[in-house]
Amino acid sequence: MTGELSPIDKAKFVAAKRAVDFIEDGMRVGLGTGSTAAWMVRCLGDLVRNDGLKIKGVPTSTRTAELARDVGIEVVTLDEAKWLDLTIDGADEFDQELNLIKGGGGALLQEKIVATASDQMIVIADVGKEVESLGAFPLPIEVIPFGWKTSKSLAEELLVSMDVLGQDVTLRMNDDKPFVTDEGNYILDLHLGRIGNPHQMAMVLNQIPGVVENGLFIDICDVVILGYGDGRVETRDINEGTIAQDRLEFEGSDNLFTDLQD
C-alpha cells in the first residue's frame, strides 16, 4: 500500500495523482517514459477502468505502450492521433525556467517528438529533480550507430568551447553491449557538471553529424508538478506565473502501485 512506500516513491505517486486531474474525457494524451511516468500511467488506467474515462494514449516507448495496454488505456500512434491535447512525462532535471534534461531512460527522441506535438506538457517529479543549473545529470544525445565514434569525437571537440564544467563523453552500455534505443540508435552521455547556456547547447549539439536528438527540452514544458514524501504537491505554471500548493492523503486502499519498480 502507499503507506509502505519510501518517501521518494510517495513523492512520485502524489505528483502523478495530481497530474491526471488535468486529463479530461476525450483527450489525446502523450504518455511519458520512466519510473515517475509509470505511476501516472497506472493512475490514468485506474480512471479508465473505474471511472469510465475515455482517452487515447500515445506512448513514448515500447515499455510505456505495454504498461498502458496492461492497465486498459487505448493506445494509438502519434500519426493516428495527429496532435495531442496534453503530454505528461517525468524529467531527470529541471531548472527555474522549466527547462529539462530528459533521456535517462533512453526514450528522449520519442519523448521530445510527442511533447512538441502537444498543446501542453506537464512534467511530474519529486523535489530532488529541481536544480539551479542543468548539467549535474548526464546529458544524453541519441546518435546513429554508423560512425558513432566520430560523433563522439566531434561532441568532445565541441565541448571545449562551451560553458560547461566537464567534457567527458561516454557510450551508454547495456551490460557488455551498447544500449540500443527503440529506434535502433545509441546514446552518448555527456558528463558536463553544469551547462552555462542550455539554449545554445541544445542548438549546437544537433548540428553534429550523426546526432539524431539531444536530451535538452528547452521552452517545451508548461507545468511542473512537484511531489513531496509527506503528500504535499506543488504545481508551477510558467505561462500563468502561478504556484499552487496542496496535500494528498494516502488511502489504505491505494495498493494499485505496489508492484512498480524504479
pLDDT by residue (tens digit) across 104-160? 999 999 999 999 999 999 999 999 999 999 999 999 999 999 999 999 999 999 999
Q: Is 125 within the bounds of a domain?
A: yes
**What digits encode the pLDDT tens for the residues 76-99?**
999 999 999 999 999 999 999 999
Whole domain around residue 147: which residue ranges?
Answer: 139-215
How confident is the model over 48-61, as a mean pLDDT? Answer: 97
CATH assignment of the domain containing 194: 3.30.70.260
Handedness of CA 59, 20, 17, 103 (dihedral sign): positive
Same-domain status, 238 and 123: yes
Q: Is 181 within the bounds of a domain?
A: yes
- Cβ 124 vs Cβ 90: under 8 Å: yes
User: Model's pTM, two decimal places?
Assistant: 0.93
CA–CA gap between residue 47 and residue 53 (Å, rounded): 6
Binding residues for substrate: 33-36, 89-92, 102-105, 129
Same-domain status, 29 and 115: yes
- Cβ 46 vs Cβ 39: under 8 Å: no
Binding residues: 33-36, 89-92, 102-105, 129
Same-domain status, 74 and 106: yes
Domain count within the chain: 2
Alpha carbon distance, N-terminus to C-terminus of the chain: 16
Q: Is 151 within the bounds of a domain?
A: yes
Query: 1 pLDDT exceeds 80?
Result: no
Same-domain status, 116 and 180: no
Q: Is 257 within the bounds of a domain?
A: no
| 35-51 helix and 62-70 helix, angle to the nearest 10 degrees | 30
How confident is the model over 195-221, as a mean pLDDT? Answer: 98
CA–CA gap between residue 185 and residue 199 (Å, rounded): 24
Handedness of CA 80, 82, 88, 89 (dihedral sign): positive
Strands 173-174 and 177-178: antiparallel
Q: Which of 180, 93, 108 is nearest to 140 (CA)?
A: 108
Grid coordinates of 17: 495523482
156 phi, psi to nearest 5 deg: -65, -40
By annotation, the residues acting in catalysis are 111
Please give the pLDDT value at position 250. Answer: 65
